[in-house]
Amino acid sequence: MCGIVGYIGTGAVQNILLNGLKNLEYRGYDSAGLALNDNAGIKVYKASGKLNNLVDLLSHKNNTANTFKGIGHIRWATHGKPTVENAHPHLSNDEKIVLVHNGIIENYQELKDKLQAKGYTFHSKTDTETAVLLIEDEYKQTKNLEQAVINAVKQLKGAFAFCIMHQDEPDKIIAVRNHAPLILGQGHSGNFIASDIPALIGQASQSIYLDDRELAIVTQNNITIKTFEGAVKIKPMTLIDMKAESISRRGYPHFMLKEIMEQPDIMRNLLSSSLSAKDAPITFSGLDADKLFSHVTKLEIIACGTSLNAARVAKALFERLCRLPVEVTAASEYIYKTNLTDENTLCIGISQSGETADTITAVRQAKEAGAKVLVLTNRANSSIIRYADASLPLMAGIEISVAATKSYTAQLMVLYLLAVMLAEKSNKITPAYAETIKNTLLTLPALTEQVLDLSEQAKALAAKYKNATDFIYMARGINLATAAEGALKLKEISYINAVDYAAGELKHGPIALLDENMPVLAVLPKDSVVFSKVLSNCEEAKARRAPLIALTTESAVLPENIFDDIIRLPDAPELVTPMLCAPFLQLFAYETACALGREVDQPRNLAKSVTVE
Ligand code: AGP
> Tell me: the pLDDT tens digits for 242-270?
777 778 888 999 999 999 999 999 999 99
8 Cα–ligand 1 center, Å: 33
**Which is the closest atom of ligand 1 to the Cα of 353?**
15
> 265 and 400: one domain?
yes
Check whether residue 360 and residue 235 sit in a common domain: no
Report pLDDT for 335. Answer: 85
Q: Which atom of ligand 1 is nearest to the CA of 610?
A: 10
Other residues' Cβ atoms within 10 Å of the Cβ of residue 541? 25
User: Ligand 1 centre and the CA of 388: distance in Å?
Assistant: 19
- Give the integer Cα–Cα distance in Å for 57 and 524: 52
Q: What's 380's DSSP letter? A: T
CA 408 to ligand 1 centroid distance, Å: 9
Round to whole Å and give the CA distance between 240 and 383: 19
Q: What is the mean pLDDT of the chain?
A: 94
Residue 443 sits in a domain whose CATH number is 3.40.50.10490
Half-sphere exposure of 466 (CA within 13 A, CB side): 18
Distance in Å, CA 125 to ligand 1 centroid: 27
Asked whether residue 231 falls in the same domain as residue 220, the answer is yes
Q: How far apart are CA 292 and CA 401, in angstroms?
A: 33
Q: Which position has the higher pLDDT, 174 or 25?
A: 174
The reply to whether 256 and 172 lie within a common domain is: no
Helix, strand, coil proportions of the chain in percent (round to 5)? 40, 25, 40
For residue 444, the model assigns a pLDDT of 98
240 and 171, same domain (yes or no): yes
Question: What integer pLDDT is reported at residue 286 of this predicted model?
Answer: 92
- Cα dihedral 101, 102, 106, 109 in deg (nearest 10): 30
> Where is the domain boundary, 413, 434, 451?
451
Instruction: Give the percent of the chain with pLDDT over 70.
Output: 99
**Rounded to an integer, what is the distance from CA 443 to the centroid of its chain?**
28
**Torsion, Cα of 241, 244, 246, 247 (10° steps):** 130
List the Cα angle 453/454/455 in 5-degree steps.
90
Q: What is the dihedral of CA 174, 180, 185, 190, to 10 degrees?
A: -30
To the question of pTM greater than 0.75 for the whole model, the response is: yes
Probe ligand 1: pick from 334, 402, 609, max atoms within 8 Å of CB? 609
| Shared domain check, 268 and 316 | yes
Range of the domain at 563: 454-613
Residues 437 and 498 in one domain: no
Domain boundary (427, 451, 475) is at 451
Catalytic residues: 2, 608
Q: What is the pLDDT of residues 88-140, one digit of tens each?
A: 999 999 999 999 999 999 999 999 999 999 999 999 999 999 999 999 999 99
Q: Mean pLDDT over residues 562-591, rounded?
A: 97
The burial class, CB within 10 Å (0-12 / 13-18 / 19+), for 35 is: buried
- Whether 403 is in the pocket of ligand 1, judged by its Cβ within 6 Å, is yes
**Torsion 121-127-130-132 (CA) sign:** negative
Instruction: Give the count of domains, the chain.
Output: 3
Who's near 87: CB < 8 A, 6+ residues apart? 31, 32, 33, 46, 47, 48, 73, 75
Question: Which mutation among 26, 304, 494 tests ligand 1's pocket best, with the greatest number of atoms within 8 A of CB?
Answer: 304
Could you tell me if 413 and 269 lie in one domain?
yes
Check whether 606 has a pLDDT greater than 90.
no
pLDDT at 341: 85
Q: Is the pLDDT of residue 37 over 90?
A: yes
Q: What is the CATH number of the domain that holds 242?
A: 3.60.20.10
Same domain, 468 and 572: yes
Q: What are 311-345's pLDDT values in tens digits?
A: 999 999 999 999 999 999 999 999 888 878 888 99
- Name the pLDDT band for 63 (thresholds 50, 70, 90): low
The contacts of residue 573 (CB under 8 Å, 6+ apart) are 436, 437, 440, 527
Please check whether residues 233 and 294 belong to one and the same domain. Answer: no
Averaged pLDDT for residues 158-183: 95
Let me know whether 200 and 297 are in one domain: no
Per-residue confidence band for 70, with pLDDT thresholds at 50, 70 and 90: very high
- 426 shares a domain with 458: no
Whether the pLDDT of residue 65 is over 80: the answer is no
Rounded Cα gap, residues 17 and 112, in angstroms? 30
For residue 359, the ligand 1 atom closest to its alpha carbon is: 16
**Which of 212, 230, 246 is the last residue in one of the domains?**
246
* Ligand 1 pocket test target in 301, 313, 352 with most atoms within 8 Å of CB: 352
**Confidence check: pLDDT of 174 > 80:** yes
